[in-house]
A and B are shown apart, each in its own frame.
Chain A
Amino acid sequence: GAVVSQHPSRVICKSGTSVKIECRSLDFQATTMFWYRQFPKQSLMLMATSNEGSKATYEQGVEKDKFLINHASLTLSTLTVTSAHPEDSSFYICSAPGTSGNYEQYFGPGTRLTVT
């Protein structure tokens, strides 16, 4: 099946700094990618839809100026957490729809962000 990768797999940063997370579709093109956040013992929460060549669409309650999304190419979307704070510490996961029938979603392995 199709593969989605994320980089880095884990990152520790100081409060007030910005962190960029990359999401790549390795063997297929993705005009759309999705970003989720997951706190411990909780379910995945959809943050935003990343669209190649246009602005991202954010879910209600997600600050677009804090979570900057750039979908620069058909295989790469980036999520930048700006001015990170400890409450932004979470597991960030991206996904992309498959190209055959759009019924299957391929997820990346996730990025563990810890803000100290």
Chain B
Amino acid sequence: DAKTTQPPSMDCAEGRAANLPCNHSTISGNEYVYWYRQIHSQGPQYIIHGLKNNETNEMASLIITEDRKSSTLILPHATLRDTAVYYCIVRDGNQGGKLIFGQGTELSVKP
């Protein structure tokens, strides 16, 4: 699996957009970009995933660069409940669900 690089921590003001970057310069053509988050002492939660097109759902938007070497997760209006560790994971869609977690970004949303 391609490795990902994320900043260890970020702050965001409540109500503002949180933009979380992820570098995955060695991503291969059949690998998807997945985002999960883990609120303290809970199991991770799926947020969004994409291959090459930008994606949006009720939780977030995923912007993938044209060369697919990096992506940004956008939480459009961060709330205090969005404080969590966010993991960007690159995985082959045929790997049967196995996820390898990196260090993630600890996002702190502040009032």
Q: Is the CB of B98 within 8 A of A107?
A: no
Report the Cα distance A93→B42, complex, angstroms.
Answer: 9
Cβ contact within 8 Å between B41 and A105: no
A74 to B106, CA, bound (A): 35
Give the distance to chain A from B60, nearest Cβ to Cβ, in Å: 14
State A36–B103 Cα separation when bound (angstroms): 14
Describe A's contact surface by its main secondary structure: strand
Instruction: Among A97, A102, A110, point to the contact of B41 (Cβ < 8 A).
Output: A110
A35: min CB distance to chain B, Å = 11
Q: Is the CB of B97 within 8 A of A97?
A: yes
B interface residue count range (under 10 / 10 to 19 / 20 to 34 / 35 or more): 20 to 34
**Interface size in chain A (residues, C-beta < 8 A):** 24
Check A103/B41 contact, CB under 8 A, given A43-B103, A43-B104, A46-B98: no
Q: From A101, which residue of chain B is reached at the shortest CB distance? A: B93
Shortest A79–chain B CB gap in Å is: 14
The verdict on A32 contacting chain B, using a C-beta distance below 8 Å, is yes
Let me know if B43 and A95 touch, CB within 8 A.
Answer: yes
State whether A34 touches B99 (Cβ < 8 A): yes
Q: How far is the CB of B105 from chain A (nearest CB, A)?
A: 11
> What are some 7 contacts across the A-B interface (CB < 8 A)?
A43-B85, A46-B101, A95-B97, A95-B99, A105-B36, A105-B46, A112-B41
